[in-house]
Structure formats: C-alpha cells, structure tokens
Amino acid sequence: MLAEIFHKFGSDKESFHHYASIYEWLLFDLKHKPIRLLEIGVQSGGSLRAWEEYLVNAEIVGVDIDPACASLRLDRARVVIGDASKPETFSGLGDFDVIIDDGGHQPADQLATLATMWERTRSLYVIEDISWKLANPQFQLVDTTFHRLRRESAMWRSSIIAPCWTIFAKELIAFKKLPQRGNHEQG
Ligand SMILES: C[S@@+](CC[C@H](N)C(=O)[O-])C[C@H]1O[C@@H](n2cnc3c(N)ncnc32)[C@H](O)[C@@H]1O
C-alpha cells in the first residue's frame, strides 16, 4: 500500500493530503516499468524514498531549491539543486514519464514549470496542492493554479493540454497524456 510507504518515509502525501490512493490509480500502468520520474520538492527526501520503494524499476530525480537537499542519502534517486520556475534548472535532465510538482506551491511557479516541462512529459504530469491558499482565510480569492488554469483554459487547451486527460482530485491536478498513434497503427 502506497499510504503505508508514504507514512514510513515521513512524506505528508498521505497523512495530510490523502494522495496515496490517487497516485496508486494514476501510476497503475507504470508501476513496474523502467520509467523516469521527476519530483520537484525534495525537502527531507520522504517522497523520493517512497518512490524508490514503490516504483522498483524507476529512475528517480528530485529537484529542490534548498542546497541542503544535496546532502541527503538516498538509494537510487538523485537530487538536482535549482529553482523549478527557471527553465535552466532542467537543462540536461532529459524527458520524464512522470513529473510531480510538490515544490513551492506558488501558482506562477507551478505554471512556469508546467510550461517548461510539459513537452518533456511522456505520460503523467501532476501538480500538488493547487489551491492550498483557499483553506487559509488570509488568502481569500487568491490566484490559485486551479483558478488560472480555468481562466486560461482556452489557451491551455489549444496549446498545451490538448492531448491528455485532465483529472482534478482533492488538491491536485493531473494531466495524463493520451497514447500517441504510432506508424504501426496507421491504416
Ligand atoms: C512540500 S516540500 C516537498 C515534500 C516532499 N515532496 C515529500 O513529500 O516528502 C516542498 C519543497 O519544495 C522546495 N521548493 C520551494 N520552492 C521551490 C522552487 N522554486 N524550486 C524548487 N524547489 C522548491 C522547498 O525547498 C521544499 O523542500
């Protein structure tokens, strides 16, 4: 159970957000495959350790703005230090099957990273905590990622989000790319 793995490694993905069952569903077809996973937001390494255990064949990369994350001891995951809102942070990292944005949770940053990394996502792109400020009364009617995606949906639909499913679940949004039709499917 992914929930127990998140608990075991101290990630708040289950204890606070209850994302485990959503991730089990989203990752169902990828769980045993040799995928490349990128997570933005490393902190103490809890979720990277959870992905190491749950996705046994995955190559895992974490990005965090905090230089202290570079000294974490992890098994298979590697950590890159940089600001996820800046495209240069991801230069040389290649494409990923799964990208999870659990970084600073600022809408402008989340959308900047999405704009940079969507083309480099093969299957699944998740943005966590898209409207967390709504729960805080001092941030009423703020510009959350959820509101921005809705407001700018025409632009996102036509240029970025088109070939995918969009799933809103709890406080996250997931974009799951549809399989591309290959040459062998033509005719
Ligand atoms: C919620 S924590 C990540 C928790 C981790 N994913 C887990 O579940 O165990 C958020 C992390 O994002 C990092 N962060 C904040 N702003 C960032 C940015 N602009 N670029 C990259 N990382 C950022 C913080 O330093 C912090 O370690």
3-state secondary structure of 136: coil
Instruction: Specify burial of residue 1 (Cβ count, 10 A radius: 0-12, 13-18, 19+).
Output: exposed
The domains of the chain, with CATH numbers, are 2-178 (3.40.50.150)
Give the H or E element holding residue 63: strand 59-64
In order along the chain (187 residues), what is the average pLDDT of each group of 10 residues? Answer: 96 88 95 98 98 98 98 96 98 97 89 90 92 58 69 59 72 82 46
Q: Which residues line ligand 1 (CB under 6 A)?
A: 11-13, 39-43, 46-47, 63-66, 83-85, 102-104, 109
Between the alpha carbon of residue 116 and those of residues 35, 95, 167, the distances in Å are 20, 11, 20
CA of residue 105 to ligand 1 center, whole Å: 8
- Nearest ligand 1 atom to the CA of 129 is 1
Q: Ligand 1 centre from 117 Cα, in Å?
A: 17
- Per-residue confidence (pLDDT) for residue 108, from 0 to 100: 82
- Residue 99 is predicted with a pLDDT of 98
